[in-house]
Structure 1
Amino acid sequence: MSTTTTEVAPAVSATLRLRPTTGKDDKDETQKEELEPYRYAHLLPHFSQDRYPPLTSFEHVDPGHRALSHPNPRSFLDNATVVELTPNLGSEVHGVNLARLNDDARDQLALEVARRGLLVFRNQQEFIDSSPEFYKAWGRHFGRLHIHPTSGHPEAHPEIHLVYRDANSTFNFEVDDSITTTVWHSDVSYELQPPGLTTFFLLSQPTTGGDTLFTSQVSTLKKLSPQFIAFLRTLKAVHSGFEQADFSRAGRRGGIVRREPVENVHPVVRIHPVTGVEALYVNRQFTRRIVGLKREESETILKFLFDHIDKSSDNQARVKWQPNTVVLWDNRITAHSAIIDYKDSRERRHGARITPQAERPIGPEGLDLSS
């Protein structure tokens, strides 16, 4: 694996190069663009030398629970236009200003994300142009904010996870020696209490490309035979952050490991605490082995499940980014992958993620989650 990881200083000022220079006029225009301050320079990746102790467990109360008792738990969408992206995953919403939602509406939002898995909100400039303090206050409504052990963050705001690639550098967890950039994962599933509702938006994006794929892990599970699902309910798997940490220790992605990596055991079939639905909870990026099975047995089952997730286009939705788009998804019941198909354009893709942790994954009744 090889990536370029020249660190970007927080004060970098640059703009997107939208097209290659082909003549004097193009060159002059590009030079003019590059001299203009980058609007989101204060949110460029910073890699502090801070070190953090291991995460401790906490009690998580999902705000979606409160919305269940509301007489109309979708009232925050009363004046909105909602288009379902697919029958089983994802809705695109127009006419809701996320920055203006009160606590009651945020509770309803959490329930709607739990039910649909993925919500795409357009025309959210006020939200995106808010301060890092606003981002963090927003995220804390949905859970304890996660500080990523290896990623870049805005200076003084480690709770905001950044993805970043431009013409000269990348600070993403990327693998170059593969024929595809599609790597399905649920964010930091190796934590004892992985994320629940997650908020993500792009500050800069390529002219085309850089979409994000999502898949419903509820649907991927339902596609399997009842007998096989019954077997999967008896299984638990190890999710590991060691490979991601080693990637950074090798000098890539900024070269920082702020918290020692962990492994944790989670159920292969997970139950959502609010809706009660079951979802497959394995992913190619972080799930390493099934506890209690011999190596060949574990590898065979995981390969089958990973391939099923990869190939099940009928369970997937694709988000095409537009300026001022904010996407929310539930990490407990979805997986996703970035699409890095814009390298040749040499354009910037700069995103910010707000990542509240949720409960320790709930397995079927009677499943022993000790390792």
Structure 2
Amino acid sequence: MATETITGSETASQTLLLEQKARSNGDVYRYAALLPHFSNDRYPPLGPFQFSDPGHRALSHSNPRAFLDNASNIIHLTPALGTEVHGVNLANLSGDHKDQLALEVARRGLLVFRDQSDFIDKGGDFYKQWGSHFGRLHIHPTSGHPDGLPEIHLVYKDANSTFNFEVNDSVTTTLWHSDVSYELQPPGLTTFFLLSQPSTGGDTLFTSQVSTLKKFSPPFVTFLRTLKAVHSGVEQAEFSRSGKRGGIVRREPVENIHPVIRRHPVTGEEALYVNKQFTRRIVGLKKEESDTILNFLYDHVAKSGDCQARVHWTPNTVVLWDNRVTAHSAIIDYGESKERRHGARITPQAERPIPAWDGLKLDDSKV
């Protein structure tokens, strides 16, 4: 699959070109204001912040699932992962209902809401207000964002342009990951929706990292609890610096150490927390030992279809997942159609990953 090389100096003209394409044949693209923009702004390193999970508040509610009371249909995608909801308007949820939503996403890993045109059409200021309920909004160091809205991460691909982090020399575009896991405080509840989608293809795969962990033998899980791994944003930044993805690096890349198994602060569930895109090595092990364990874990995640769910995108679908207990991969199978896929992600940060084993110390870890 070929990707177009775009340098930082070309990004403004590239955005203009996208807008012109969006107006081809006299049609005005409804979401032209949300097309990718690559500003040259620079940001300082992200500092730590105090995080309080809204799902905790929902635990004290008399009915922690009251936000689903008016749903017309609720369908579990799989027994352990994913629920599809019809008849609930996310744009109208109260603060208490958002807390309940956070708890349900933590428990199910993934929620899919159909018929959410009200939510999608409310625009950037609403997206920021929505996401801020669930945590501090992450500004991606390299991705495109709507002009003036750096808190909204965009994915974009059409017949001539792509701003996704794609690997061209692989036999597959499937790349399992948890979003920006290299941050000291990676994302928790995450919201994503497509503004434009191909007529077929472009689905998203999700996997339950709670379920993948449960497949292992108890002695192996006990061993994994003692391990911590380096997660790195360096490769992603170098990809942009090479002129791809938009050619912009707004914040210097970081590496942080996280537990290989983390504990969710609300549900208490343990989840595997490594991913092929950002995890680089296990601390304290020799290279061959680290590579063997990580490659085994990556292979297990990729092959465990019984832990996975697949989201098919229909217009006005909004998907929420918990990045702490799931991993996902885009499916880029629509390139020959030359159709546009334009998505927006709202990405609140959560707590620094909590080790499943209380004896695992991270504070004095050095990358």
Tell me, yes or no, if structure 1 residue 75 matches structure 2 residue 66.
yes
The match for 2:54 is 63
1:316-340: CA deviation from partner (whole Å, max 9, x where unpaired): 0000000000000000000000000
Q: Is this contact kept in 2: 1:13–1:37, CA < 8 A?
A: no
Give distance in 1, aligned partners of 2:81 and 2:251: 34
SS of corresponding position for 1:238: strand
Look up the match of 2:251: 259
For residue 39 of structure 1, the aligned residue among 30, 48, 51 is 30
Q: How far 1:9 moved relative to its partner?
A: 1.5
2:289 paired with 1:297: yes
Query: SS of the residue aligned with 1:279?
Result: strand
Q: 1:368: how far off?
A: 1.1
Q: Once the 2 structures are TM-superposed, how far is the Cα of residue 33 of structure 1 from its aligned partner?
A: 6.2
Give the gaps of 5 or more residues in structure 2.
none
Determine the C-alpha separation between the residues in 1 that align with 2:166 and 2:332: 9
> Displacement, 1:14?
3.8
- 1:227 paired with 2:219, answer yes
| Structure-1 separation of matches of 2:337 and 2:47 | 43
Normalised to the residue count of structure 2, the TM-score between the two structures is: 0.95
Q: Is 2:234 the counterpart of 1:242? A: yes
Residue equivalent to 2:349:
357
CA distance in 2, matches of 1:185, 1:9: 27
Query: 1:367 Cα shift?
Result: 0.4
1: CA distance, partners of 2:342 / 2:46: 27
Which amino acid is the alignment partner of residue 366 of structure 1?
G
Q: Is the 8 A contact 1:89 1:317 kept in 2?
A: yes
SS at match of 1:318: strand
Give runs of aligned pairs for residues 330-341 of structure 1, distance below 5 A.
330-341=322-333
Q: 1:212: which partner in 2?
A: 204
- Cα distance in 2 for partners of 1:40, 1:265 equals 38
**Equivalent residue number for residue 368 of structure 1:** 361
Q: 1:163 aligns with which of 144, 155, 158?
A: 155
Q: Is 2:164 the partner of 1:172?
A: yes
After TM superposition, the score normalised by the length of structure 1 is: 0.94
Deviations 1:142-187 (A, max 9, x none): 0000000000000010000000000000001001110000000000
Structure 2: distance between partners of 1:34 and 1:167: 16
3-state SS of the aligned residue for 2:354?
coil
**How many residue pairs get matched?**
355
1:115 corresponds, among 89, 107, 120, to: 107
Partner of residue 12, structure 1:
19
Task: Answer yes or no: is the 8 Å Cα contact 1:13–1:36 preserved in 2.
Answer: no
Equivalent position to 2:125, from 112, 124, 133? 133
Q: Which residue of 2 aligns with 1:53?
A: 44
Shift in Å at residue 2 of structure 1? 5.8
Identity of aligned residues (%): 75
Q: Which amino acid aligns with 1:350?
A: H
Which amino acid is the alignment partner of residue 34 of structure 1? Answer: N
| Cα shift at 1:3 | 2.0
CA root-mean-square deviation: 1.2
Q: State the SS of the aligned residue for 1:201.
A: strand
CA distance in structure 2 between the aligned counterparts of 1:33 and 1:294, rounded to whole angstroms: 56
CA distance in 1, matches of 2:28, 2:5: 22
Q: Deviations over 1:63-107 (max 9, x none)?
A: 000000001000110111210000000000001000000100000
What residue number does 1:22 align with?
A: none
Displacement of 1:34 in angstroms is: 3.3
